[in-house]
Chains A and B, each alone.
Chain A
């Protein structure tokens, strides 16, 4: 029963709805922002995705993640592939399952990020690239594993302080 209640669509008031809209805008912007050198680049859209999942739960998280993926690829002129939308949905669900209505701890953040690395980045996304461009999976995998081993710790180090920051906690207080 408890899990059922957690999966229900929380009714949004106008403020929550508008905030979700703004978070989508921030996610679209941060999706274009990358740091790194010529070998490894990574973006920051995952921070907003985690935030949406933490504040609004799995269902709103899933729906906005799908929309962002759809609109983001359409507007950037990249090739659209439904598999990456599924990946976005799954990542958002993992964040929500671990962070929604629960206290933020190092353990939860690490588990979420490592799960996403293993399931979404290494298995699913590699599979999608292989399907889309007919590349051999085992030729892609070593490079992708290496990249994720560097990126995931940095993601954890960014996500935890963000979720714990005074500003974010303050906004959360004003939302509810």
Chain B
């Protein structure tokens, strides 16, 4: 609970922090494709250099980034183990028992998967650490704009998203307060069996919903009092600008892409 997502933004003044959020979102999506394209040692080396370069440019300490990976460590270990134990027969077989094969190709694949996992998680953590939640919301809203042609109410969704992000910390505090209040009355959170644990959350859930709805009522009245009618016919205060450094990141990305495509054979 205490290591909640929204506290994760790290305010530093680096090139990466000053990049356009739209650009960072697009780059991280395309980066995942890049990771899936890599299939040889050389291509993974290029990826690692690109990733470490991005981290260095962001001035975020590697150790701090690694802490973000800790919650996912079990998933990584589990997947790598599955890969080692249940790989299809191929290459040299080191150990064989019933349906468990430990083979050379299995070990190599497990190594690739481990690197792939680590790289994807590092890059997405970098995005979170270097971009404020509200910037992510603005960036997403602007990237979704073309969906208007499909009659998706993009502006309304963007408005909802910024309301949601603004009130996550508030409702989080509220949840904490309700929990403490219920604890003072003798509710044990996180104790007993599964069903008992789940049931103990009802004295938290119901007041939380009620309080969220009361706030929603107040906020919507206040919005209407300030002249809000619909999401479409409005102007924008937060304006994103594409700068030269954003173009440069795509040139670097393009070079990386070409190098990886070439090195796929080795």
- Interface residue ranges, A against B (CB under 8 Å): 9, 12, 14-15, 17-26, 28-29, 32-33, 35-37, 40, 44, 47, 63-64, 67, 70-71, 73-81, 133-136, 139-140, 150, 154, 157-158, 161-162, 165, 167-168, 171, 174
Contact = CB atoms under 8 A, between A and B. Distances in A.
Contact of B210 (A24, A32, A77, A171): A171
Contacts of B160: 17, 20-21, 24, 64, 67
B209 A168 contact: yes
B164 A22 contact: yes
Nearest to A143: B78
A19 B68 contact: no
8 contacts: A21-B159, A21-B162, A22-B213, A32-B4, A35-B197, A63-B157, A74-B25, A168-B209
Interface string B206-234: 10111011011101100110001001000
A23 B212 contact: yes
Interface residues of B, number: 71
A71 B136 contact: yes
A40 to B, nearest CB: 7
B32 A167 contact: no
B124 interface: yes
B82 A136 contact: yes
Contacts of B208: 26
Contacts of A168: 209
A15 B121 contact: no
Interface in B64-101: 68, 72, 79, 82-83, 85-86
Given A19-B216, A21-B164, A24-B164, A74 B136 contact: yes
Contacts of A162: 205
Given A32-B1, A135-B79, A158-B198, A76 B164 contact: no
A22 B83 contact: no
Interface of B: 1, 4-6, 8, 25, 28-29, 32, 68, 72, 79, 82-83, 85-86, 109, 113, 116-117, 120-121, 124-125, 127-129, 133, 136-137, 140, 151-153, 156-157, 159-165, 167-168, 171-172, 175, 190, 194-195, 197-198, 201-202, 205-206, 208-210, 212-213, 215-217, 219-220, 223-224, 228, 231
Given A63-B153, A134-B113, 10 more contacts: A18-B223, A19-B216, A21-B160, A22-B212, A25-B212, A77-B5, A78-B124, A79-B117, A133-B116, A136-B82
B83 A29 contact: no
Nearest to A64: B160
A157 B5 CA distance: 29
Contact of A29 (B159, B171, B210, B216): B171
Given A25-B164, A67-B157, A167 B206 contact: yes
Contacts of B8: 75, 77
Closest 7 CB pairs of A and B: A21-B163, A24-B164, A77-B125, A21-B160, A35-B197, A18-B220, A25-B164
A47 B208 CA distance: 13
Given A67-B161, A79-B121, A167-B210, A36 B83 contact: no
A29 B175 contact: yes
Given A25-B165, A28-B164, A79-B120, A9 B194 contact: no
